[in-house]
């Protein structure tokens, strides 16, 4: 073999090794990313105002997958690897949870867990009742926000759940359809979820959502890592520095 042939052979071998190394690196990177997404944390963004004032449109947050254990809905791409939940733990009343819509098992919803298995839930005159007892609701300052260029001022309240956890809600009035409901009894293995924007939330009060099966829970909302104003798309990177709500960065979700 001539010197030229040897050089060409060596170059080809190195090129092949370099390509193989790149493929292996990509494989492990994808595998690690899928592992983190499945077993640890997954990013979600807020596309609607159903959780105002706690979460705003344009918030990006991390959801912990390990908080409630694992089901087919926590696995990447929703692969039906197993039924039920493993290493599961119960959500606490007041948790903000991401879950798959029971109607289709695909659409992600994010709401606050209000009712636990066996609870009786009812809204009367805008006041939440749990097991026949009205939940304390204290009027505080109005909540002011913008929506598609409009400034909106809405009555805001601090709600205190039976376990002592507090959170803020907004109400446009106490006379809407969702402000007066029948009494719901949460079945075993299910939860009752509601949005903090009580008059603008499709949640367990409505048949399109209903009770949330434990298997459908994806995880618990933990922290906001980015918040973009004016409905700025994440991919428009040149707008991000000017549209970021810096005061919301790294806020814990409660």
Q: Give me 94's structure tokens.
A: 């007041």
- Is 48 annotated as catalytic? no
Residue 195, helix vs strand vs coil: coil
Which residue among 50, 67, 201, 204 is the active-site one?
A: 50
CA pair distance 28, 248, nearest whole angstrom: 34
Task: For residue 23, count CB atoms less than 10 angstroms from its CB and return exposed for 0-12, middle for 13-18, buried for 19 or more.
Answer: exposed
Residue with tokens 């000017």: 242
What b-and-e string marks burial along 73-92, b requiring 16 or more CB atoms within 10 Å of the CB?
Answer: bbbeeeeeeeeebeeeeebe
Which residue among 65, 71, 100, 111 is the active-site one?
A: 111
- Is 89 annotated as catalytic? no
Question: Which H or E element spans position 30?
Answer: helix 3-39
Active site residues: 50, 111
């Amino acid at each position: 073999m001539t010197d030229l042939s040897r050089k060409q052979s060596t170059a080809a071998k190195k090129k092949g090794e370099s390509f193989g190394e790149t493929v292996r690196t990509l494989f492990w990177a994808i595998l690690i990313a899928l592992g983190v997404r499945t077993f640890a944390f997954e990013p979600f963004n807020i596309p609607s105002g159903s959780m105002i004032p706690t979460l705003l449109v344009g918030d990006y947050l991390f959801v912990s997958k390990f908080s409630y254990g694992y089901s087919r809905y926590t696995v990447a791409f929703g692969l039906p690897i197993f039924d039920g939940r493993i290493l599961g733990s119960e959500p606490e009343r007041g948790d903000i949870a991401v879950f798959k819509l029971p109607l289709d098992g695909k659409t992600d919803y994010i709401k606050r867990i209000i009712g636990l298995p066996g609870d009786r839930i009812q809204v009367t005159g805008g006041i939440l009742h749990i097991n026949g007892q009205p939940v304390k609701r204290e009027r505080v300052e109005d909540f002011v926000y913008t929506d598609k260029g409009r400034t909106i001022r809405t009555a805001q309240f601090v709600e205190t759940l039976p376990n002592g956890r507090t959170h803020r809600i907004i109400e446009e009035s106490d006379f809407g359809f969702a402000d007066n409901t029948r009494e719901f009894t949460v079945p075993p293995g299910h939860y009752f979820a509601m949005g903090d924007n009580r008059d603008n939330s499709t949640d367990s009060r409505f048949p399109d959502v209903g009770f949330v099966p434990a298997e459908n829970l994806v995880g618990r909302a933990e922290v906001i890592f980015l918040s973009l104003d004016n409905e700025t798309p994440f991919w428009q990177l040149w707008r991000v520095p000017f549209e970021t709500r810096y005061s919301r960065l790294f806020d814990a979700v409660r």
